[in-house]
Chains A and B, each alone.
Chain A
Amino acid sequence: MSQQVIASTANKARSLSLEEIAEIEHEMTLYPDKKAVGLEALKIVQKHQGWVSDASLLGIAKYLDIPAADLEGVATFFNLVYRQQVGKNVILFCDSVSCWIMGCEGIKGYIKEQLAIDYGETTEDGDFTLIPVPCLGDCDKAPVMMVGPDLHRNLTPEKIDSIIKDYKNKQD
């Protein structure tokens, strides 16, 4: 009955794919309220698209009939919902006390050198994006980082070399 998304805005939305819709519909059976599905829907779209574009954000808002501004509030609250395009592999580099003690600064410098990117940047070939996270909770194996869904522990420059190589090969 109520259309929360004003038409002129709704018209900029991307139509969600059938897969995305199917997954969102499933989530909707689990929550009493459409608004509550917002976060799950963002995660679903990110899984399929790699990130959440403006058009995708509006697509979800339109599909769920919730205000785009509210959904943007959710999307920007969680820093692992990407509102800018990221590389194929996102490196979440642990940037917290234990890792500092174990010399993560040097590892970070090495990654920066190898990939020619700093925090928040993506390699020119679009393979990697480097993002700091406060703690991955694996302090006894510090320094640590995640690449995509995988956790890598006790990092050394050599390990970084092989990790980069592995992910590059994986895609080919």
Chain B
Amino acid sequence: MAKIVIDGVEHEVNPDNNLLQECLSLGLDLPYFCWHPSMGSVGACRQCAVMQYRDADDKVGMLVMACMTPATDGAIISIEDKGAKSFRSDVIESLMISHPHDCPVCEEGGECHLQDMTLMSGHNYRRYDKKKRTHRNQYLGPLINHEMNRCITCYRCVRYYGDYAGGTDLSAQASHHHVYFGRHEEGVLESEFSGNLVEVCPTGVFTDKAFSENYSRKWDLQTAPSVCVGCSVGCNTAPGERYGSLRRTVNRYNSEVNGYFLCDRGRFGFDFVNNRDRLLEPVQRVDNTGELLADDQVKALIKEFTTDGTIGIGSPRASNESNFALRAMVGEENFYAGYSDVEHESMIVILDLASDTAFHSPSVREIERADAVLILGEDVTNVAPRIALALRQSVRNQAKDLADQSRIPQWQDAAVRELAQHERSPLSIISPAVSRLDDVACDRVIEALPVVVAMGHQIANKISTSAPNASSSTEHDEVIEKIAEQLKAAKRPLIIAGNSNGSEVIKAAANIARALHDGSDKSVIDLCLLVPEVNSMGMGLMAGAANPLGAGLEKLQSGEAKRVIVLENDLYRRAAKATVDAALTAAAKVLVLDQLPTATTGNADVILPATAFSEHEATYINYEGRAQLSFQVHQSQKQAQPSWRWLCDAEHIDDLVERCSNELSGFARLREVLPAENPFIAGMKVPRQSHRYSGRTAMNANVDVHEPKQMEDKESVMSFSMEGIPSQKDASVLASSWAPKWNSNQSISKFQDEVNGELKQGHVGCLLIERKDSSGSYFEAAPDSTEPSANQLRLVFSYQIFGSDELSARAKPIQARMTDAYIGLSPADAKARDLRQGDVATISPLGSLVVVCIRTGIKAGTALLHCGDGNISPADFSGLIEVEKSATQTTSRGIGNLIVSDFHEKEINS
């Protein structure tokens, strides 16, 4: 620690940081633009000037940029000095010269960092009365609006988009008064993380286009702390609601998980909540028409389902509470896993590894710290996008080491990048096709899946000879040797795999990690195993290993079970159509709880409407085994209820959490995610609405001129109200970060222990799975026996950030970026089948129609299948498939929206 004096007061600070960061950590107000807590300093905007004095006798001082000056011991500075203040006021005046006077119509207004800094810097009268420079805006796709006139050229957008997120299609252009931030031509922003521009831009240049169509000011949105349900990372979000519809999602800081950033699925995928097709009433099928059910009828029905002969099928996209309620209702032995049998098998392996003391499942922040990474067989950008963004930071650890050696502070962003040039920490990828992380990979092997697995085992064997070897092939010896050396040499190596394509890849990845563990004096090795859905882990922990979905469906078909309750799940995505059809037809009664109609609800006898993530409080468990609590944001539409409420008598989610903690093995710590016993201040709950929430008594005047009674929330520590004291006592209920003088999301520093630290009274979730099994051993390397015939191709499932997740695929902004189901082929395989880019093909065994997508970065002999949004079920295909040209050639979305670097032919039909 160092001691510095700021305006006559002595403070303890961290000398490894710069003055701006330390001032903010101390809670002081110092304006800035170009600095960002996760991107360091470049000293571009000159807004954070402070006066620094040589010693106590120095009365004159000199101006320094706080963000570019280290917080060295003994430093004496002044923020309040007259000279510093007037300098900052002049800087903002010049930055603001061409800024339009359009705050009332600007979507940033009210949460604008530029507004805040303008006020803070004391620039309140605009003297410049000449012509302002103006720009043409670009079309940047369906997600982001562009309004360049508002730009103050802080360069944050390109630093985030290019330097941090690795995007290549946004740049700073032109010079002096005409500097422009845009693409080289109009077009969709290619990065999967483009939405963060909305929050990174300190003013309204980049705004949320989807929100724009149904805009509300920040203070008019009803907001609560939530968790993204788009994938298994569990990023923390703050969705906002107004007039009964969910309007937008913004990032909610969690130091261990998402930090300051979300992916575009997470930001724009919430809109399925507003989908017009939402199931809103309990219905019963009577002679092929729907009949509404009254409360007592529902009760009677549920009672009928509590008798023997009922099975329940859980869901990886439903909460722990709902899965638990179903499990408790039908009994553990009758509760079946809600994912495919292939996934079930791999989940057993993953859960087994999750309790092994040799490994650690790293958080997103820990992934950023890895200094050598191997990705085995998984397309991280499309399966767990936020982790891909973290991996881009991990390769910079080499640059940071070099900076340390040269005594350049790590926060000196431009200097560190300049020093490192192309030096990166090793990231190697072995998979069947190119990925969106290849540009930062040092080694990149494209091989058929069985070879990927074999290479994994070979690497393990190379690291420690006690690991079994799988292959005598010497084809990739050089790269295997290199990767093994890199992992061995690393201080914090990381192995990533996932269950997109079965469990063999996971076993190979685990063997590598175990070999590292054995070879490194038993240090704990980071092993990150990705699963696809928000609560895959939670449901996996609840479903017995002997209860895969297939067994449940068989029970129905054989008549052993007569009734089935399907929890928030479309079984046709999980098992082969014929199997599901047979099971549902054989069942005497099928009860489905869900949010939106699916093929499964189409075959239900009873449908009960379930609330979506923003309409109920729930806990989910992410890929690491981290349990997190997501609050209810707004009232559910019509009669939708949390699934657990339909199924059991529990009054309160807390009761269910308590029961989960007591009754389920592995869930003992779940109760820790609940807010502290007494979160109330002065007897008041935490309000979901801001103190400036407008029109409360008038917003429904078109329906009722009387002041409506404020809706009561009997369950939560939050209220549907403006009254109360927001987010001070317990940061787990910090929905909308907002502090005096800081109206934008930059106010988050006021709620952190220190910049980039935990939130005060930190709530980063709770790691459930205890690692206590030290008897783990190597998996046997099972050789792949499938031999494709001349006509057959090896099938590999390909996930897409836009479209592979069932619920977000029903959101309009996501749909605008989706493609049809497609089959990715290498040029040679396409040619052999006389297929051209954009053709429609059929794939065996069902003859399903898919668009042909020829890519040069796919291993010949492998076919990548992307299933689109539900027309094709992954469960219908496995192993080897045949592809041939279809007689019908009509497509709907085509594949024009696909952003990959390796399209083969020139023409892409869209």
> Which residues on A are within 8 Å of B, measured CB to CB?
1-9, 11, 33, 54, 57-58, 67-73, 76-77, 79
Contacts and interface: CB of A to CB of B under 8 A. Distances in A.
Contacts of B170: 69
B900 A76 contact: no
Given A67-B168, A69-B168, A77 B421 contact: no
Q: Which 7 A-B pairs have the closest CB atoms?
A: A67-B168, A7-B903, A2-B439, A69-B171, A72-B184, A3-B901, A73-B171
B190 to A, nearest CB: 6
Interface of B: 162, 168-175, 180, 183-185, 187, 190, 421-422, 438-439, 441, 444, 896, 899-903, 906, 908
A3 B902 CA distance: 8
A105 B902 CA distance: 55
A7 B901 contact: yes
Contact of A4 (B168, B441, B903, B906): B168
B183 A76 contact: no
A114 B441 CA distance: 59
Nearest to A4: B168
Given A5-B901, A70-B171, 5 more contacts: A3-B901, A4-B901, A6-B901, A76-B175, A77-B175
Given A1-B444, A2-B439, A8 B421 contact: no
A67 B903 contact: no
Contacts of A57: 184
Nearest to B438: A2
B173 A77 contact: yes
Contact of A72 (B162, B173, B444, B906): B173
Contacts of A76: 173-175, 180
14 contacts: A1-B438, A6-B190, A7-B901, A7-B903, A8-B908, A9-B187, A54-B185, A58-B184, A70-B162, A72-B171, A72-B173, A72-B184, A73-B173, A77-B174
Contacts of B902: 3, 7
Contacts of A68: 168-169, 184
A114 to B, nearest CB: 29
Contacts, number: 66
Nearest to B180: A76
Nearest to A12: B185
Given A1-B444, A6-B901, A7-B903, A70 B175 contact: no
B438 A11 contact: no
A7 B900 contact: yes
A105 B270 CA distance: 61
A24 to B, nearest CB: 19
B853 to A, nearest CB: 11
Contacts of B422: 33
Contacts of A73: 171-173
A70 B170 CA distance: 8
A12 B712 CA distance: 59
Contacts of B906: 11
B666 to A, nearest CB: 42
A2 B901 CA distance: 8
Contact of A69 (B174, B184, B438, B896): B184
Given A57-B184, A77-B175, A6 B421 contact: no
Nearest to A67: B168
A12 to B, nearest CB: 9
Contact of A67 (B171, B180, B421, B908): B171
Nearest to B899: A6
B453 to A, nearest CB: 23
A5 B903 CA distance: 11
Contacts of A71: 184
A95 B908 CA distance: 49
Contacts of B899: 6
A8 B903 contact: yes
A70 B187 CA distance: 16
A106 B896 CA distance: 56
